[in-house]
């Protein structure tokens, strides 16, 4: 599990596709990411959270927590 800015994500492995994929937990909105390495997954997770927070701000909407 990873955490960033108060958000957590679970990482799973898809052996067939040879990728890591994750989903942000405990929010109603769907925020996902995929990567090929653990470090890339960490960066993609953080980028996804930053993008999500920016998107909510643009909409004038409170981000789900």
What are the tens digits of pLDDT across the range 25-60?
999 999 999 999 999 999 999 999 999 999 999 999
Q: Is residue 19 within 8 Å of residue 35, measured between CB atoms? A: yes
Model confidence at 65: pLDDT above 90: no
Residue 25, token pair as written in the block? 């937990």
Rounded to an integer, what distance in angstroms lies between the CA atom of residue 26 and that of residue 8? 8
What's the pLDDT score for residue 63? 92
Q: Is residue 40 within 8 Å of residue 32, measured between CB atoms? A: no
The DSSP code for 1 is: -
The DSSP code for 30 is: -
What's the pLDDT score for residue 64? 87
Could you give the count of Cα atoms lying within 13 Å of 56 in the half-sphere of its Cβ? 14
pTM of the model as a whole: 0.90
Q: How confident is the model at residue 9 (pLDDT cuts 50, 70, 90)?
A: very high
Find the mean pLDDT for residues 11-31: 94
């Amino acid at each position: 599990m990873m955490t960033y800015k108060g958000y957590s994500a679970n990482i799973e492995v898809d052996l067939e596709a040879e990728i890591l994929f994750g989903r942000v937990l405990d929010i109603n909105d769907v925020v996902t990411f995929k990567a090929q390495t653990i470090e890339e997954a960490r960066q993609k997770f953080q980028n996804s959270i930053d993008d999500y927070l920016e998107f909510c701000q643009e909409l004038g909407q409170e981000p789900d927590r």
